């Protein structure tokens, strides 16, 4: 079983719609969760981090975490063509340990104008 | 700050040749990471350093790969001899130390696109 699993997509949504991305992780002791966005040919950039159960909103992005079910999701509201990218879920097991971040394979999102 | 700087951006080399990738982390960052990204395996952590000391190299695929960090502002990833299956994008990244339950942001360089023919 992979440490971090995501739906590979591609996920195609019309402009203005909500894009919903899901991620599950295997290590129940994981404490920190991140969403990175990677445009084609570019490097990953952090867009959201979440550490506690529940929702965290930042602009058009909402991250949701459910540690009991071991899943984290990302909602993109009012999707724009500029949101077309691959979204990587990343999980860190123990923040007190030295840093080790496990990435999912990514979900490719295409926003249709 | 200029961000994490990597060189070369693109390299095409013949199988068996030595490849050296270079990285300059963001000034003040204590942690430096080398990642490899391929379509098949996604983004994999190869090795990371804390204060120039290698902490975890369990992701280094084999002895052909080596990494060094002689000082706080420079690191290299070397492949010798290179093989076609090493073709990938190699990212260097850096960050401040992790904080309890807050995590921290890893800043990636633009990557070095390696093709071994």
CB pairs under 8 A between A and B: 61
CB-CB neighbors (< 8 A) of A97 in chain B: 98
CA of A48: which chain B residue's CA is closest?
B105
C-alpha distance from A88 to closest chain B C-alpha (Å): 9
CB-CB neighbors (< 8 A) of B108 in chain A: 43-45
At residue B15, does pLDDT exceed 90? yes
Average pLDDT score over residue span B73-88:
97
Bridge partners of residue B38, in order along the sequence: B42
At residue B17, does pLDDT exceed 90? yes
Please indicate whether, in this complex, the C-beta atoms of A99 and B105 are within 8 angstroms of each other. no
Q: Tens of pLDDT along B87-114?
A: 999 999 998 876 644 446 889 999 999 9
* Alpha-carbon span A13 to A29, nearest angstrom: 34
Write out chain A's pLDDT in tens, 113 residues.
678 999 877 999 999 999 999 999 998 888 889 999 999 999 999 999 998 999 999 999 999 999 999 999 999 999 999 999 999 999 987 655 557 788 999 999 999 98
Supply the pLDDT for residue B99: 63
From the list B42, B44, B48, which residue is nearest A99 (CB)? B48
From the list A43, A44, A95, which residue is nearest B103 (CB)? A95
* Alpha-carbon span A17 to A13, nearest angstrom: 6
Give the dihedral of Cα atoms B48, B53, B55, B57; nearest 10 deg.
Answer: 60
* Alpha-carbon span A85 to A107, nearest angstrom: 8
CB atoms closer than 10 angstroms to residue B50: 16
C-alpha distance from B84 to closest chain A C-alpha (Å): 20
Supply the pLDDT for residue B21: 98
Both tokens of A103, joined, read: 């990435």
Pairing of strands B10-13, B112-116: parallel
CA B73 remoteness from chain centre: 13
- Identify the residue with better confidence: B39 or A73: A73
C-alpha distance from B18 to closest chain A C-alpha (Å): 24
Please indicate whether, in this complex, the C-beta atoms of A43 and B110 are within 8 angstroms of each other. yes
Please indicate whether, in this complex, the C-beta atoms of B43 and A32 are within 8 angstroms of each other. no
C-alpha distance from A17 to closest chain B C-alpha (Å): 28
CA of A106: which chain B residue's CA is closest?
B42
Q: How far is CA A23 from CA A61, A111, B82, in A?
A: 15, 20, 34
Q: Where are the beta strands (DSSP E) in B1-117?
A: 5-7, 10-13, 19-24, 31-38, 42-50, 53-56, 65-71, 74-79, 88-95, 107-108, 112-116
Which residue in A6, A51, A67, A101 has the most chain B C-beta atoms within 10 A of its own C-beta, making it the best mutation to test that interface?
A: A101
* Alpha-carbon span A14 to A45, nearest angstrom: 24
Which residue in A99, A102, A104, A105 has the most chain B C-beta atoms within 10 A of its own C-beta, making it the best mutation to test that interface?
A: A99
């Amino acid at each position: 079983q992979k440490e971090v699993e995501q739906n590979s997509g591609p996920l195609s949504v019309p402009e203005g719609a909500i894009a919903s991305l899901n991620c599950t992780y295997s290590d129940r002791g994981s404490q920190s969760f991140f969403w990175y966005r990677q445009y084609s040919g570019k490097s990953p950039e952090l867009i959201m981090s979440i550490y506690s159960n529940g929702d965290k909103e930042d602009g058009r992005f909402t991250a949701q975490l459910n540690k009991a079910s071991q899943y984290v999701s990302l909602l993109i509201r009012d999707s724009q063509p500029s949101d077309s990218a691959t979204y990587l879920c990343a999980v860190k097991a123990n923040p007190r340990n030295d840093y080790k971040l496990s990435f999912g394979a990514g979900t490719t999102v295409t926003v249709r104008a | 700050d200029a961000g994490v700087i990597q060189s070369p951006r693109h390299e095409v080399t013949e199988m068996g040749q030595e490849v050296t990738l270079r990285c300059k982390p963001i000034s003040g960052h204590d942690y430096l990471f080398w990642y490899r990204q391929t379509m098949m395996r996604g983004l994999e952590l190869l090795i990371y350093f804390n204060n120039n000391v290698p902490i975890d190299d369990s992701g280094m695929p084999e002895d052909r790969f080596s990494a060094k960090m002689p000082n706080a502002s420079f690191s290299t990833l070397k492949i010798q001899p290179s093989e076609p299956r090493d073709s990938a994008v190699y990212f260097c990244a850096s960050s401040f130390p992790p904080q309890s339950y807050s995590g921290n942001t890893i800043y990636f360089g633009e990557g070095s696109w390696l093709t071994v023919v």
